[in-house]
Chain A
Amino acid sequence: MTIDLAGLLAYAASFGVLAAINVVICLSLELQWGRAGLFNAGVAGFVAVGAYASALLTAEPAAGHLAGPGLPVIAGLAAGSVTAGALSVAVGSLARRLRGDYLAIATFGAAVVLELLLRNLTPLTGGPLGLAFIPRPFAGLADRPLAFALASFAWVGFIALVLYVGIGRLVDGPWGRTLRAVRDDERAAASLGKSPVRFRLEAFALGGALMGLGGALKAHTLGFIAPEHFPPTLTFQVWAMLVLGGAGRRQGAVLGAVLVTALWSATDLLLAFFVPAGAQAQLAPLRIVVVGALLALGLLWRPRGLLAERLRVSRYL
């Protein structure tokens, strides 16, 4: 038996792309929930908005749907983030003062409405079929799988790394400290002159924008998107990553994202190898059960996630 080293490397790199995108989305939720205590029950919706906004703005003009200024990918990424960020501001403002229950219901509702829109606004979104021919950076390498996978991993990984560093500057400093105060005791924070609404909205909008960026990355690595890429189980998956890894630590979000992505891919492989093709579709939902069970076990073992929040906030001390 020969081991196809190039094939293995290509597989690892495309796993890396997937993991890096999930890291971006999980870091966004970490910002909202871990740092600000904001419960987002509609992660998939914010990711989808970013993906569709970027895809629509970058796709070449085509007959049949409205896509088409053909902007460069980088502009699409920015637009996807801004659109999802704006949606976050709107949803956050609707959920008065961004308090727990309201926000959970508002985000969940927003995601449901968005999914309906994606499926039914066919002229804009392509309906259930979605959008295709979304530009992929380094598409010229597409006939050399290894080179293409490595190049994709390089640019997506680079963006994830930049975000990781940028978020660190924010959350491990005075902004993160005040946010923690707002999260844990709104009244005390307000009595010290800190506006809970301002800090919550900043965290929620920023998190939402980065979820949108994650979606846009998804669009520009896959080359096509459809509503089924952003199912409610995506929300569950991202929460599983964060809770398993530990909310309140960037490293926790990264670890959780990589672990759950690996588990997800592993169950994919197992299904492909050991289950006849006809039964695969029926068994696919089992993955959710597997991830859920792992999450439950992980939480029994470490209730606050693999990496717990640290006492010190400011990296400058």
Chain B
Amino acid sequence: MKDDHDPRPPPVLEARGLVVRYGGVCAVDGVSLAVAAGEVVGLVGPNGAGKSSLFDALAGDRRPDSGEIRLGGTRIEHEGAEARLGRGMGRTFQVPRPIGSLSVLENVMLAAPGQAGEGVLASLCAPARVRAAERRLAARAAELLDDVGLDGHADANAAHLSVGQRKLLDLARLLMAEPRVLLLDEPMAGVHPATAERLGERLTALAADGRAVLFVEHQLGLVAARCTRVIAMAAGRIACEGPPAEVLADPRLAAAYLGRTA
């Protein structure tokens, strides 16, 4: 498949023949895809196409019924979500999941990897080290909140945010974990258009920084503006994929949205 002149770096995330079933419903029906570092790939398709179920399988929230997932060449489909994040792939949820008993700032700090203070011994014996780390994390978390436009909400209870703000918090939190591969489930839904525009820029910047972004989005205009490639799903399968202009003009995409699978 890959010819020698392909200028793209090798895929970071690769899935083959993924199947996710809920009882009798086959939500993901043999999906194969690859996302390379530096790419922003849009995942589109009508409601119930299986986009979120595909994310669940990729991120480790649900074991796929069959299929392979590779991250940087390593098979990971048997691993849990926490191990996959440790390998550098993280996701946000379509329905955001802030920790409602924590402040916005601590929601973000929570996500930092390798915190000394998460160890029992270090917490007990090295409070000075933990204090210094907490100061650094708080500063970094404040920066990220600033980036997504949640500055001013740092000390608020995360449970009191609006849906759009929760989306932004989820994104800031994921960025704190510094994944190389980001799976974003409708990150801009319910977000103010001006902020959505900034988020789009942010995605482009992440890709330029060598990360891989796969994101679900229903507003095709945003997809066209930000993606290097688009994958369209319908009824659990990939209907078509390619450059945004091609896919968005593809009759199979229109057919999918009209409820027919081409």
Contacts and interface: CB of A to CB of B under 8 A. Distances in A.
Nearest to A206: B120
Contacts of A313: 102, 106
Given A180-B102, A187-B81, A193-B111, 20 more contacts: A166-B124, A169-B123, A169-B124, A174-B115, A174-B133, A175-B117, A177-B102, A177-B109, A178-B110, A181-B102, A184-B101, A185-B100, A188-B97, A190-B81, A193-B82, A194-B82, A309-B101, A311-B102, A311-B157, A313-B102
Given A170-B124, A187-B81, A191-B90, A178 B106 contact: no
Interface of A: 166, 169-170, 173-175, 177-178, 180-181, 184-185, 187-196, 202, 206, 309, 311-314, 316-317
B123 A173 contact: yes
Contacts, number: 112
B90 A314 contact: no
A151 B227 CA distance: 73
A309 B173 CA distance: 23
Interface in B77-130: 80-82, 85-86, 90-91, 93, 97-103, 105-106, 109-111, 113, 115-120, 123-124, 127, 130
A185 B82 contact: no
A86 to B, nearest CB: 16
Contacts of B124: 166, 169-170
B99 A316 contact: no
Nearest to B116: A174
B260 interface: no
Contacts of A189: 82, 99
Top 7 A-B pairs, shortest CB-CB distance: A174-B117, A193-B85, A316-B134, A188-B97, A190-B81, A174-B115, A192-B111
Contacts of B101: 180, 184, 309, 311
A314 B103 CA distance: 10
A191 B130 contact: no
A79 B119 CA distance: 23
Contacts of B174: 192
16 contacts: A169-B123, A175-B118, A175-B119, A177-B110, A178-B118, A185-B99, A185-B100, A189-B99, A190-B81, A191-B90, A191-B93, A192-B85, A193-B86, A195-B80, A196-B82, A311-B101
B100 A184 contact: yes
B123 A174 contact: yes
Nearest to A192: B111
Interface size class on chain B is 35 or more
Given A192-B90, A311-B157, A317-B134, A175 B103 contact: no
Contacts of A193: 82, 85-86, 90, 111, 113, 177
Chain A contact residues: over half helix, strand or loop, or mixed?
Answer: helix
Nearest to B60: A190
Contacts of B100: 184-185
B59 A191 contact: yes
B5 interface: no
Contact of B117 (A166, A173, A192): A173
A316 B103 CA distance: 14
B140 to A, nearest CB: 13
Given A185-B97, A193-B113, A311-B157, A175 B82 contact: no
Contact of B91 (A191, A194, A317): A191
A173 B134 contact: yes
Interface of B: 59-61, 80-82, 85-86, 90-91, 93, 97-103, 105-106, 109-111, 113, 115-120, 123-124, 127, 130-131, 133-135, 138, 157, 173-174, 177
Contact of B138 (A170, A190, A317): A317
Given A178-B110, A181-B99, A191-B61, A316 B135 contact: yes
Contacts of B106: 177, 312-314, 317
Contacts of B93: 188, 191
B85 A312 contact: no
B254 to A, nearest CB: 34
A173 B103 CA distance: 14
A67 to B, nearest CB: 32
Given A175-B120, A187-B97, A309-B101, A192 B130 contact: no
A212 to B, nearest CB: 17
Contacts of B91: 191
B118 A311 contact: no
A195 B174 CA distance: 16
Contacts of A177: 102, 106, 109-110
Given A185-B97, A311-B157, A174 B134 contact: yes
Nearest to B135: A316
Contact of A180 (B99, B135, B177): B99
B134 A170 contact: no
Contact of A192 (B127, B157, B173): B173
A312 B102 CA distance: 7
Nearest to A165: B124
